[in-house]
Chain A
Amino acid sequence: MIKGTVLIATDICKGCELCVAACPQHCLTLSKQINTKGYRFAELKNEECTGCVNCALVCPDAAITVYRQAKIKKAV
């Protein structure tokens, strides 16, 4: 399976939860802590992310950077 991950600008996030709903892999959730604005922020809750970009597309605050595993390395 393709592996990916996201980096969320937690201080920019407003906890709207739209990314959580948009993630087909159900990898996002809202944190228990709050950020400097007082919002619970989005964070990864598992390693199922495929780097599909869906969360970043719906984020109203452009808070998400998405990474995907480069295809090259295979052999261990």
Chain B
Amino acid sequence: MEANILDNLEVVYQKPETLTDTPFHYCPGCGHGVAHRVIMEVVEELGIQDQTIGVAPVGCSVFAYHYMNVDMQEAAHGRASAAATGIKRVLPDKYVFSYQGDGDLAAIGTAETIHTVNRGENILMVFVNNAIYGMTGGQMAPTSLCGQVTSTSPYGREATQIGFPLKITELIAQLPGAYFVARHAVHTPNAVRKLKKALKSAFEYQKLNKGTCFIEIVSNCPSGWKMNPLDSQKWIEENMFPMYPLGDIKVPGKSTTPSTENN
């Protein structure tokens, strides 16, 4: 019966060919999988598979190069944007992107992140913010929320002791080298659609040579947060979005107005 039904139907969605057949090693419900897929959908739709070079981080997404079927380079922890800088400068006609978690991009790699954007390197930086170090067992990240319980903040993050959550995306948006900066999410179908649109613009902007595009993806880490995937989606809405509101932060042609308040 199934074969019969399928005969009369046309495919309206399928996994992009720019992803390899290797199954993701990510935990059930982890946003990294969606982020990988959407980036690769954009690469497929723009027809730039053989012109795209990605740089993978250290973190749960360290094996991004097993999944994304484009040329990829692994970078030392935190240094993805520095590696991407070198690649783009040597091969300026390629579409170059880096992919990093919050521990990679906003802790050990803070200097590289800020200076890459400050130099206005003509690359796309994708920043997956799940407010925790997933790979190493759920330690506190710079982006962990106040009060958030992690394995290294068992009583909840206490700002007076260990500082406030770092809104690095708003921070770098103020740099003149930043061309397009936005924050998106992958927790609902609509959020995924919006992310895809932003990623597409970001790849297209690379042709203009105007500076760094930076897209934060607010994501989940069900394992690190010790929640099931559905609860982690709710937790994102209730706790992450007040601190990390979604939307454009710096749009080409408009003056910078980084949102510093919660909304």
Question: Residues of A with Cβ closer than 8 Å to B?
Answer: 3-5, 7, 12, 14-18, 21-22, 39, 51, 53-54, 56-62, 64-70, 73
Residue of A15, A39, A56 with most chain B CB atoms under a 10 A cut-off: A56
* 11 additional A-B residue pairs with CB within 8 Å, beyond A57-B13, A62-B19: A51-B9, A57-B34, A57-B193, A60-B31, A60-B33, A61-B23, A62-B37, A66-B13, A66-B14, A69-B9, A70-B9
* A-B residue pair count with CB separations less than 8 angstroms: 93
Contact call B13/A18, Cβ cutoff below 8 A: no
Question: Residues of B with Cβ closer than 8 Å to A?
Answer: 2, 5-6, 8-16, 19, 23-24, 26-34, 37, 186-189, 192-193, 222, 228-230, 233
Residues of A within 8 A of B29 (CB): 14, 16-18, 60
Q: How far is the CB of A9 from chain B (nearest CB, A)?
A: 8
Contact call A4/B9, Cβ cutoff below 8 A: yes
Contact call A60/B14, Cβ cutoff below 8 A: no
Q: How far is the CB of B63 from chain A (nearest CB, A)?
A: 14
| B37 closest partner in A (C-beta) | A62
Residues of A within 8 A of B37 (CB): 62
Top 9 nearest A-B pairs (CB, nearest first) are A60-B33, A16-B29, A67-B9, A14-B28, A66-B13, A54-B189, A16-B28, A62-B15, A16-B229
The 8 Å CB contact of A18, one of B19, B23, B233, is B233
| A62 closest partner in B (C-beta) | B15
Residues of A within 8 A of B230 (CB): 17-18, 21
A4-B12 in contact given A58-B34, A62-B19, A62-B37 (Cβ < 8 Å): yes
Residues of B within 8 A of A59 (CB): 33-34
Contact call A69/B8, Cβ cutoff below 8 A: yes
Contact call A58/B9, Cβ cutoff below 8 A: no
Contact call B23/A12, Cβ cutoff below 8 A: yes
